[in-house]
Amino acid sequence: MGNCGCGHSAGAGPFAEGRDLVEFVSLAHGGALKNQSLPGGGLPTECQGCGAAFTLGTFVASCPECGGVHAVSPPRCGDSANIQFAGVGYQL
């Protein structure tokens, strides 16, 4: 899935998991996708790092409690179960 048509070859695609998905979405469309609002006002979730409840409002966002970076890709943004976590200590 090295080239999804998003203008880069990040080595992953919209169905990657964990850090690979976070990095893919962060780079997609020249970085423009990561700050776009999710349809429907966001996805309620729990931080996969610290367990705090928050709403993922954009395609890439950080937990307001611990700063853990989470992302979801456009084809999978209809379900909180598809949110991926970059791992403890990851920073954009």
Per DSSP (E only), the strands in 1-92 are 43-46, 53-56, 60-62, 69-71, 84-85
Per-residue model confidence (pLDDT) at position 23:
96
pLDDT at 92: 80
CA distance 18 to 85: 5
10-residue mean pLDDT profile of the chain (92 residues): values are 45 90 96 96 97 98 97 97 96 84
pLDDT of residue 91: 87
Which residue ranges make up each domain of the chain? 18-85
pLDDT value of residue 1: 37
Q: Which residues contact 91 (CB under 8 A, 6 or more apart)?
A: 67, 69
Please state the pTM of the whole predicted model: 0.86
Asked if 24 contacts 10 with a C-beta cutoff of 8 angstroms, the reply is yes
- For residue 80, which amino acid is it? S
Contact present, 19 and 90 (Cβ < 8 Å) = yes
